[in-house]
Chain A
Amino acid sequence: NAGVTQTPKFQVLKTGQSMTLQCAQDMNHNSMYWYRQDPGMGLRLIYYSASEGTTDKGEVPNGYNVSRLNKREFSLRLESAAPSQTSVYFCASGQGRANQPQHFGDGTRLSIL
């Protein structure tokens, strides 16, 4: 039972490079989410997809784009990476209902030099 799978687990980029973070879930969840986590800042929502075919901005969307490829997959793209985007990125999925939890992947640790 894989749950939520993120690739890659680690990545180092140079400023200005582009990169796509991949996320897939096998729990048949409708909703998927991308968060970033910085020290002392908790989890901040970048983008989410409430259902297949829809995407919405979260708290910190600038510098990112997303694609809900199908029900299972939700990717996050950095078009021109900046040092401020150095962070740990978590993908999550859930049914989107109040009493249903969000399930998180193991994270992608991204460093931008």
Chain B
Amino acid sequence: GQSLEQPSEVTAVEGAIVQINCTYQTSGFYGLSWYQQHDGGAPTFLSYNGLDGLEETGRFSSFLSRSDSYGYLLLQELQMKDSASYFCAVRAFSGNTPLVFGKGTRLSVIA
């Protein structure tokens, strides 16, 4: 089976940097993804890491270390609109298999 661990809540100040960690245990591994979900909304895709290293998309970056079964999402220059839940997700098998999601980290950005 697969399991993912991420902190349940994080609070950070507007303009600051925050890192949300994710550790996983899977029987196979075909990449780590991150999704954002605002209250009352649908999850939306943020980033994907298939190989070790850092992927950058604007203010958001995601990192993966396959040897450590660990990844993180880094949000820079935090804005109030970044207040949301963030989910890491793994695809454990190749082919048309679904993502398995962590329980999510609720990020609160305060002034």
Give residues in A with beta carbon < 8 Å to B.
30-31, 33, 35, 40-45, 48, 50-51, 58-59, 90, 95-99, 101-107
Q: Point out the residues of chain A lying under 8 angstroms from B43, CB to CB.
A: 43, 90, 104
CB distance from A68 to the nearest CB of B (A): 12
Closest chain B CB from A65 CB (angstroms): 17
- List the A residue with the shortest CB-CB distance to B100: A45
Where the two chains meet, the residues of B that have a C-beta atom closer than 8 Å to any C-beta of A are: 8, 30-31, 33, 41-45, 48, 50, 87, 91, 94-104
Main secondary structure of the interface of A (DSSP, over half): loop
Of A95, A102, A106, A107, which one neighbours B99 at CB under 8 angstroms? A102
Q: Is the CB of B42 within 8 A of A105?
A: yes
Q: B interface, by DSSP: helix, strand, loop or mixed?
A: loop
Contact (Cβ within 8 A) B96 A51: yes
State A35–B102 Cα separation when bound (angstroms).
Answer: 13
A33 to B91, CA, bound (A): 14
Q: Which of A43, A50, A58, A59 has the most CB of B within 10 A?
A: A43
A101 touches B97 (CB 8 A): no
Q: Which of A30, A90, A96, A106 has the most CB of B within 10 A?
A: A96
- A48 and B87 within 8 A (CB): no
Candidates A31, A45, A99, A107; contact of B31 at CB < 8 Å: A99
Which residues of chain A have C-beta atoms less than 8 A from B33's C-beta? 101
Quick check: B96 and A98 within 8 Å, CB to CB? no
Alpha-carbon separation in the docked complex, A112 to B32 (Å):
35
Contact of A102 among B30, B45, B94, B102 (CB under 8 A): B45
14 cross-chain CB contacts under 8 A: A35-B101, A40-B103, A41-B103, A42-B87, A43-B101, A45-B98, A50-B95, A51-B96, A98-B31, A98-B50, A99-B31, A102-B98, A102-B99, A107-B42
User: Nearest A residue to B99 by beta-carbon distance?
Assistant: A102
Asked whether, in the complex, the Cβ of A106 is within 8 Å of the Cβ of B41, the reply is yes
